Amino acid sequence: MSRDAQIKEFYKDQTIFLTGGTGFLGKILIEKLLRQCWDLNKIYVLVRPKKGKSPEDRFEELFQYACFDLIKCKNLSEKVFLISGDIQKPFLGLGVQDAELLKKETTCVIHAAANVKFDQTLKAASHNVRATRDVLELAKHMPNLKVFVHVSTAFSNCVHSHIEERFYTPPMKPENLLALVDDLDDHTLQAITPKLLGEYPNTYIYTKCITEDLVKTNLQVPKAIVRPAIVISTIEEPVPGWVDNVYGVIGIALVAALGILRSMHAKKSYPAHVVPVDYVANCVLAAAWKAHRSGTTAIYNYIGHNKNIMTWGRFVEIINPACWEFPSEKFLWYFRFKIRENELWHKICVFFLQTMVAYFIDFVLICVGRATIAVKNYRRLNNMMDLISYFSTRRWTFEQDNVLELWDQMGKDDKKMFKFSMEDTDWVEYIRNNILGARMYLLKETPDTIPRAKKKLKIMFFVHYAVVAFFWYLLYKFLMFVASSFYGNFY
C-alpha cells in the first residue's frame, strides 16, 4: 500500500451503501468516489419516489447533472446501483431482496440522508431519527461492514456556545421521541413542540442532535460522525462553483443578486461558517478511512479552519462587487443588499423595501388581470431569513482537533486527492466562483450574457434612483401639505 495514497487504496473493492445520494452532498460523494476510486466494487444508492417520479426515473436523471460531466465517459452502470427505498418509511421502505443484498455485500455505510428544512413539523423531522435508527439496525446485520459514517451538522449542539468534538447529552432519548410522535395526534404534537424544543432553534437541529445519540449507542464497528457547517458550492471539484439548490447562503446571495432581497439581519463581525461541498465530501471519505484504520469512533467538527474564518460582513463585501461584475439578465430590480445589525431597523427596512414592494407588484398584477405572486413569495422569503437569522446573529467557537489531526495523518497524495483544509482558502476567488456558479447552474445563464446584463443593470441603476427621488419628492409634498393644513387650521 502506498503510504501517500492510503485513502484511495482503502476504497479499493469496497461496496458502499449511501443514503442521501440524490442530495447536494450525495451527488458530490458519488462523483468523487467514481472519479478517484474507480477500483471500488459498487455503490448502492437509496432513492425514493418524489414529485410523481419513480426511483428509477430519478436515478437516471441523477447523472444528468453537470457535476458528473467529467466522468460521463465511463460506464457508470458498472459501479452505481439503484436501491429503491424511502427514509420516511419504516425500515427505509426496502424490499426483502434489496435488504438481503445490502446485508450481504455492504462493507461501508455513509448515511447522509436527512430532511434539512428548518420549518418542518416535529413529526416530519422525526424521520431523521427514525431513518438513522433503521440504517443502524440494517448495518447490524452486515457481516462484512468495516465502517459507518454519519453526516450530522456543526450546529447539532448549538445550545452550547463552545462545541467540542464529542457526544453531548441529547434533549430527549431517540426511542422516547419516536414513541411520542407515534402516540400523539398532529395537533397536540404541534402544540407542545415549542416546549420540547426549548433552546433549540428548529426541529431539524433538534432531531440531528438526537440522531447522534443513536450512533453513539448502536453498532459495534468503527464509526465517524462528520459535522459540516453551512454547506455551499464547490470550491474545486469537479468544477468550481457547482451548486444544485437555492437553500441557505447561496439562496441568499442569489435572491440578493436578483434585486429581490434587500436586507439581512446579521452581526457583521460574527463568523459565517460556510464550507465547500466538495471539501465536506473529502472529509467524509477521509473520516471513514481513519475510523477503519484506528478501529475507534471519532467526531469531526468541519467548520473550515479557525485561522481563516469568513465573517458575515466580509461575505457581503465580496458579494457586492461580484454581483456588479457578473450580473444576471434575470434580475428584477437594481441590486442593493445590506446587512443590518439592529433587528428593529432591519424589520423597518424589510417592510418598506420588500413587503410594500410586494403589495405594489401584486396590485399591478391584479390591475392587468394576472395572478398575484409577490406577497406570497416575499412572505416565504422573509420567513426563511428569520430562520437563518438565528445563525447569523450568534457566535460559536468550535473545537477542531480531530479534523486537524485527520489532515496531518493523511499522505501527500491523499492531501491532493481528498483536500479539505481551508487554512489557505482565497475567499474572494471562492465567493466570486459561487456567484458565477449560481448564475450558470441555477439560472442557466452562460458567460456570454454578462455584457448584456451589465447594460441592463446600468439602466436599472438610473431607474432605481429616479424612483427613490420621486418617492422622497412625494413624501416631501405630503408632509408640506400636512404641515400647511395644520398651521392653517391652528391660526
- The reply to whether 108 falls in a domain is yes
- The reply to whether 464 falls in a domain is no
- The reply to whether 360 falls in a domain is no
The answer to whether the CB of 415 falls within 8 A of the CB of 287 is no
- The reply to whether 413 falls in a domain is yes
pLDDT at 332: 81
pLDDT at 141: 95
The answer to whether the CB of 430 falls within 8 A of the CB of 235 is yes
pLDDT at 12: 94
pLDDT at 320: 85
| Domain hosting residue 58, numbered range | 6-244+272-309+396-424
Q: Position of cell 429581490?
A: 260
pLDDT in tens, 110-149: 999 998 888 899 999 999 999 999 999 999 999 999 999 9
CB atoms within 10 A of CB 223: 23
Pinpoint the alpha helices (H) of 184-311.
186-197, 203-217, 248-257, 277-294
- The reply to whether 381 falls in a domain is no
The answer to whether the CB of 258 falls within 8 A of the CB of 331 is yes
CA distance 358 to 163: 40
What single letter denotes the amino acid at residue 478? F
- The reply to whether 448 falls in a domain is no
CA distance 261 to 192: 33
What single letter denotes the amino acid at residue 385? M
CA distance 359 to 382: 14
Residue 355 per-residue DSSP state: I
Which grid cell is 361?
407588484
CA distance 259 to 240: 24
Tell me whether the omega of the peptide bond preceding residue 321 falls within 30 degrees of 0, making it cis: no
Q: Is the pTM of this model over 0.85?
A: yes
Measured in degrees and rounded to the nearest 5, phi and psi for residue 416 equal: -80, -45
Measured in degrees and rounded to the nearest 5, phi and psi for residue 310 equal: -80, 140
Cα–Cα distance list, 41 to 80, 106, 147, 240 (Å)? 9, 10, 16, 28
Cα–Cα distance list, 395 to 226, 346, 389, 400, 433 (Å)? 20, 19, 12, 16, 26
- pLDDT below 50 — which residues of the chain? 1
Sort 491 into a burial class: Cβ within 10 Å, 0-12 / 13-18 / 19+: exposed
Q: What is the CATH number of the domain that holds 54?
A: 3.40.50.720
pLDDT in tens, 381-439: 888 889 899 999 999 999 999 999 999 999 999 999 999 999 999 999 999 999 999 99
Sort 128 into a burial class: Cβ within 10 Å, 0-12 / 13-18 / 19+: buried
- The reply to whether 346 falls in a domain is no
Q: Domain count of the chain?
A: 1
- The reply to whether 191 falls in a domain is yes
CA distance 353 to 455: 24
